[in-house]
Amino acid sequence: MDRIFADGVPDPHYRKTRESVLLIGVDPTKAAPRSFWADMEANTVSNGFDLMFTDIGKSYLVESGSEKGEGLLMSFGSVRPATKDEAQIRLTVRSKSYQTCKANGLAFPHREIPILLEHSGENLLWEEKANKCLSCGTCNLVCPTCYCFDVQDDMDLGLEHGERFRRWDGCLLDDFAKVASGENFRETRTARYRHRFFRKGLNLFKILNEVACVGCGRCASSCLPDIADPVDVFNKLKEAEKN
């Protein structure tokens, strides 16, 4: 989100909130059934946090990533330097969680996703999946990398006072691409469904040099007709490419 809202032309509202936020992470010890973060190289991070915890058994190994995190740790924590054995346990914990999640993953390296999508725009899989789509937007709402929003004005009855606010929006919703004239640039469910995968795997890759998916599997777990699983979609597209 920092790369979206804080870099380039910064969003002052985001920046104000972000400056007051302390980010504390913890290394996973289990993998959700639909998760595939190991394949997205998102099983752990080396930056972007204030404090990162790893459960090593009877205690936690804590890494500070900022002066703010270091200050909090020194002020309220009972800490000592980690031993070599404890540092090795952290590597073992991370390796174990990586292997656990790897069983659910992609059949090819995730850096190939943009190339795969460039040649898959007309694949019949999009329509096949979209025919079951409810256009509920749940996949958007649970996704940690979705950030689209709508701006609305709420005027009082006297038209002298009001409030401008924004709310999260989702590209799977019917009117997401609808403009003031009434034209809807992604009127069909197929167009909206395909757009979400292209947005995550190709369009944002051109900007961020990363696929905008961390492999959490929340979309797959929350989708009622079970059509949102990126692993299933990307693996089927890859198989179709081979044939």
* Alpha-carbon gap, residue 220 to 139, rounded angstroms: 8
- 164 in Cβ contact with 151 (< 8 Å): yes
Structural domain count of the chain = 2
88/146 same-domain check: no
3-state secondary structure the chain: CHHHHCCCCCCHHHHHHHHCCCCEEECCCCCCCCCCCCCCCCCCCCCCCCEEEEECCCCEEEEECCHHHHHHHHHHCCCCCCCHHHHHHHHHHHHHHHHHHHCCCCCCCHHHHHHHHHCCCCCCHHHHHHCCCCCCCHHHHHCCCCCCEEEEEEECCCCCCEEEEEEECCCCCCCCCECCCCCECCCCHHHHHHHHHHHHHHHHHHHHCCCCCCCCCHHHHHCCCCCCCHHHHHHHHHHHHHC
pLDDT at site 236? 96
124/213 same-domain check: yes
124/183 same-domain check: yes
Residues 6+ apart with CB under 8 A from 4: 147
pLDDT tens by residue, the chain, 243 residues: 998 998 888 999 999 999 999 999 999 988 888 999 999 999 888 888 999 999 999 899 999 999 999 999 999 988 999 999 999 999 999 998 888 887 778 999 999 999 999 999 999 999 999 999 999 999 999 999 999 999 989 988 888 899 999 889 999 999 999 998 999 999 999 999 999 999 999 999 999 999 999 999 999 999 999 999 999 999 999 999 887
138/237 same-domain check: yes
pLDDT at site 82? 93
The single-letter code of the amino acid at 28 is P
72/121 same-domain check: no
Give the residue from 102, 120, 143 where a domain finishes.
Answer: 102
Instruction: Name the pTM for this structure.
Output: 0.88
10/32 same-domain check: yes
238/157 same-domain check: yes
pLDDT at site 131? 97
174/206 same-domain check: yes
Give the residue from 79, 102, 125 where a domain finishes.
Answer: 102
78/142 same-domain check: no
Give the residue from 76, 102, 128 where a domain finishes.
Answer: 102
**Structural domain harbouring 114:** 110-242
77/124 same-domain check: no
User: What residues pair up with 149 in beta bridges, in sequence order?
Assistant: 168
Cα 128-110-64 angle, rounded to 5 deg: 130
pLDDT at site 232? 96
pLDDT at site 234? 97
89/185 same-domain check: no
141/176 same-domain check: yes
Residues 6+ apart with CB under 8 A from 86: 56, 59, 61
User: 60: which 2 tokens?
Assistant: 């936690």
